[in-house]
């Protein structure tokens, strides 16, 4: 595997390649990221992974400076997983001048849920993904479904800009107890790690109760959030939405079997975790 730090090196390495598969990451890799690389490998062509901690998607009070940077270890894991090229640009390389041109996703999707609690987050995501796509020129890009809303936003951007990229979503990879793998899980203390499973369990209960259809969703969602609060969490949201657009389903849609998803975000101590479950 080659590790490249400049756009010129990347373009030289990819010259003449017509079917590149791409996995964008912020590093501090785990088995969930490596599953994306394995899927990219299965799609054929050279596999490119990027490691870049994107300042544009962090709010001023968030953990940009503290976000783990483990490039040497990441490179070893990627090589073992079958990655061909690692693109690890510096901030100055990817943003050689202030990024005044940005991609603004539609508020109807990007201002919900994560966008409500992290204003501007999806503008930062879309801008860096657009830029990385321009750098790598992939035929296929593989993302994890743990970041459910992000995957929807990226797919919408690719569709509306008619970008020749097949965006593949891979199911969430989980630990043996069911916790979704995340780079931020490393922030959890030992006791918090045992508590963390309460978030996916809450989403599972919410899904079961929502499909039952006997109580209003607002009541179910409030009760789910209150259960986490009593256990020391600070929930941002636990909610049931339509998979198609992340808007709340009507009672008739619930009864008719509309494809739904529960989504949750909550802080446990200083760590913010997100998860989702389709049903």
The residue with tokens 């539609």 is 106
Mean pLDDT on 105-116: 97
Question: Phi and psi dihedrals of 169, rounded to 5?
Answer: -105, 130
> Whole-angstrom distance between the N-terminal and C-terminal Cα of the chain?
39
pLDDT, tens digit, 9 for 90 and up, residues 135-188: 999 999 999 999 999 999 999 999 999 999 999 999 999 999 999 999 999 999
Give the Cα separation of 261 and 76 in Å (integer): 35
Helix H or strand E segment including 80:
helix 71-81
55-70 residue pLDDT tens = 999 999 999 999 999 9
Angle 71-81/31-42 helices, nearest 10 degrees?
Answer: 40
> 28 catalytic, yes or no?
no
Q: How confident is the model at residue 25 (pLDDT cuts 50, 70, 90)?
A: very high
State yes or no: pLDDT of 18 exceeds 90.
Answer: no
Cβ of 130: how many Cβ atoms within 10 Å? 18
272, pLDDT greater than 90: yes
Give me the residues paired with residue 51 across strands. Answer: 25
Set 5, 28, 30, 33: catalytic member: 33
Residue 44: band (very low, low, confident or very high) from pLDDT cuts 50, 70, 90 = confident
Between 243 and 44, residue with greater pLDDT: 243
Residues 247-258, mean pLDDT to the nearest whole number: 94
- Total Cβ atoms within 10 A of residue 151: 17
């Amino acid at each position: 595997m080659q590790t490249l730090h400049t756009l010129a090196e990347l373009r030289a390495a990819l010259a003449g390649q017509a079917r590149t598969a791409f996995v964008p990451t912020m590093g501090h890799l785990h088995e969930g990221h490596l599953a994306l690389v394995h899927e990219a490998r299965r799609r054929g062509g050279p596999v490119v992974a990027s490691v870049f901690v994107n300042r544009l998607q962090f709010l001023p009070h968030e953990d940009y400076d503290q976000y783990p940077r483990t490039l040497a270890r990441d490179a070893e894991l990627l090589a073992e997983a079958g990655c061909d090229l690692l693109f690890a640009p510096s901030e100055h390389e990817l943003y050689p001048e202030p990024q005044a041109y940005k991609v603004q996703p539609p508020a109807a999707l990007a201002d919900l849920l994560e966008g409500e609690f992290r204003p501007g987050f999806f503008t930062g995501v879309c801008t860096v993904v657009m830029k990385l796509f321009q750098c790598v020129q992939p035929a296929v890009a593989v993302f994890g479904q743990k970041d459910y809303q992000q995957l929807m936003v990226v797919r919408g951007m690719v569709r509306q800009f008619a970008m020749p990229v097949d965006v593949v979503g891979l199911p969430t990879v989980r630990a043996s107890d069911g916790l979704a793998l995340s780079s931020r899980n490393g922030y959890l203390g030992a006791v918090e790690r045992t508590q963390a499973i309460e978030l996916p369990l809450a989403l599972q209960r919410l899904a079961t109760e929502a499909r039952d259809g006997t109580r209003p969703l607002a009541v179910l969602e409030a009760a789910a959030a209150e259960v986490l609060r009593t256990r020391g969490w600070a929930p941002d949201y636990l909610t049931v939405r339509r998979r198609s657009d992340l808007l709340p389903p009507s009672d008739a849609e619930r009864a008719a079997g509309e494809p739904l998803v529960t989504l949750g975000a909550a802080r446990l101590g200083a760590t913010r975790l997100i998860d989702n479950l389709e049903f």
